[in-house]
Amino acid sequence: MLAITAARIDKDTPSAGLEVGDRPDPAPGEGWTTVHVRAAALNHHDIWSLRGVGLSQEQLPMVLGSDAAGVDEEGREVIVHSVIGDPNAGVDESYDPKRSLLSEVHNGTLAEKVAVPQRNLVPKPPELSFEEAACLPTAWLTAYRMLFERAGLQPGEALLVQGAGGGVNSALIRMASAAGYRVYVTGRSETKREGAKRLGAYAAFSPGERLPERVSVVFDTVGEATWAHSLRCLRPGGRIVTCGATSGQAPPAELNRVFFLQLSVLGSTMGSRAQLQQLAEYCARSGVRPEIDRVLPLAHAKEGFAAMEQGELFGKVVFTV
Ligand SMILES: NC(=O)c1ccc[n+]([C@@H]2O[C@H](COP(=O)([O-])OP(=O)(O)OC[C@H]3O[C@@H](n4cnc5c(N)ncnc54)[C@H](OP(=O)(O)O)[C@@H]3O)[C@@H](O)[C@H]2O)c1
């Protein structure tokens, strides 16, 4: 089958380790099944994998990708939940300390077929296209948990999203605006700031710019480049919700600001299978849809990786099979 594989680790030029080519079909073990992938989405996670974060040279070659929508062996249209955990660890596999995402231990979704545990499939609502559904399992699920479970926002409150066009950020902007929050955004270019407003943002600013008011919650996936600004934008008692550190993970903690203003820092990772199903139903009913920057045939995946590496994207890259 055609697959996009991490063949080498390259910390500086991650896409140099990418290979597009033939790989053996998956051989699912007991309790696992094969999904025929119709669409798969790219995440920054795939860039980290190529840099050797969460993936070592000894594990290669590894098929990349943690997002897919497709058709299962019974012909049902399904979305793949990417968190592989111990089935006995409890209802929410994302809290299993031994969990992995597809492409970390088991081959991932950027392929014609992917093997997954049977229980990791959720129904694809007919209202969503395969391309839209493929955006949900990682970026959108992570944003859903950050916004609706972790942030503790009251209806109508103000929030800031650091970054405009990323997968998680565009999902946060779209869902938070649809939910009626006053959504401020920082974006690295005028085009991205305009894009954020098109997604529903109340106002968009350059990175580091002073906001017209202090917000209750900042969503920060960027890390070092934005952390100091995130702390300064919060009202006393405010919260930062973080799921990533794209620009680096060791900004000054500024503990004096954290305790004096009684701020909270909340980590968040992925979401449960039940939340993925809720998210799919929420999209189907609300009309909220993922922003898609481009759809490419799987064989042209390198173009999508290059655009993400260069920070050019506004929304998700989706590969079709
Ligand atoms: N813990 C989890 O479960 C989880 C799940 C999903 C993602 N993540 C992590 O969250 C991060 C974002 O993932 P993604 O897939 O949404 O990535 P992405 O699509 O590549 O988006 C990157 C975002 O970061 C913003 N950004 C702002 N300043 C930046 C800087 N100096 N360097 C790089 N980016 C900067 C970009 O802003 P502009 O739009 O203004 O360019 C863009 O919105 C990644 O680190 C990823 O590993 C974690």
What's 107's domain CATH number? Answer: 3.90.180.10
- Judge whether 223 lies within some domain: yes
183: containing domain: 142-267
Assess whether the C-beta atom of 48 lies below 6 angstroms from ligand 1: yes
Assess whether the C-beta atom of 167 lies below 6 angstroms from ligand 1: yes
Torsional sign, CA 271, 204, 304, 18: negative
Domain tally for the chain?
2
The full DSSP string for 62-89 is EE--SEEEEE-TTS-EEEE--EE--TTS
- Judge whether 277 lies within some domain: no
- Judge whether 83 lies within some domain: yes
Give Cα 200 to chain centroid, integer Å: 19
Q: Same domain, yes or no, for 118 and 6?
A: yes
Q: Same domain, yes or no, for 85 and 120?
A: yes
What is the C-alpha separation between 54 and 51, in angstroms, rounded? Answer: 9
Pocket test for ligand 1, best of 94, 222, 249, 317 (most atoms within 8 A of CB): 222
Assess whether the C-beta atom of 49 lies below 6 angstroms from ligand 1: no
Q: Same domain, yes or no, for 157 and 208?
A: yes
Beta-bridged to residue 219, according to DSSP, are 161, 241
Q: Same domain, yes or no, for 247 and 130?
A: no
Q: Are 146 and 269 in contact (CB under 8 A)?
A: no
Cis peptide before 61 (omega within 30 of 0): yes
Pocket test for ligand 1, best of 44, 142, 205, 206 (most atoms within 8 A of CB): 44
Could you tell me the two tokens for 149? 């479970």
Assess whether the C-beta atom of 41 lies below 6 angstroms from ligand 1: no
Q: Same domain, yes or no, for 146 and 194?
A: yes
User: Ligand 1, atom 6: nearest CA belongs to which residue?
Assistant: 139
Q: What is the CATH number of the domain that holds 146?
A: 3.40.50.720
Tokens 């305009």 appear where? Answer: 194
| Cα(254) to centroid(ligand 1), Å | 22
What is the C-alpha separation between 281 and 123, in angstroms, rounded? Answer: 9
Q: Which of 176, 91, 88, 104 is nearest to 140 (CA)?
A: 176
User: Ligand 1, atom 36: nearest CA belongs to which residue?
Assistant: 163
Q: Same domain, yes or no, for 106 and 214?
A: no
Grouping H, G, I as helix, E, B as strand and the rest as coil, residue 103 is: coil
| Cα(244) to centroid(ligand 1), Å | 7
What is the C-alpha separation between 90 and 85, in angstroms, rounded? Answer: 9
Which pLDDT score, from 0 to 100, does residue 92 have?
87
User: Ligand 1, atom 22: nearest CA belongs to which residue?
Assistant: 166
Q: Same domain, yes or no, for 193 and 155?
A: yes
Assess whether the C-beta atom of 308 lies below 6 angstroms from ligand 1: yes
- Judge whether 275 lies within some domain: no
Q: Same domain, yes or no, for 40 and 114?
A: yes
DSSP H helical ranges for 153-213: 167-178, 190-198
Q: Same domain, yes or no, for 116 and 148?
A: no
pLDDT per residue of the chain (321 residues) written in tens, 0 to 9 = 999 999 999 999 999 999 999 999 999 999 999 999 999 999 999 999 999 999 999 999 999 999 999 999 999 999 999 999 988 877 788 999 999 999 999 999 999 999 999 999 999 999 999 999 999 999 999 999 999 999 999 999 999 999 999 999 999 999 999 999 999 999 999 999 999 999 999 999 999 999 999 999 999 999 999 999 999 999 999 999 999 999 999 999 999 999 999 999 999 999 999 999 999 999 999 999 999 999 999 999 999 999 999 999 999 999 999
Tokens 């994207």 appear where? Answer: 313
Model pTM score? 0.98
Q: 106: which residues sit within 8 A by CB, 6+ positions away?
A: 84, 100, 115
For the chain, the distance separating the N- and C-terminal CA atoms, rounded to the nearest angstrom, is: 11
- Judge whether 280 lies within some domain: no
- Judge whether 227 lies within some domain: yes
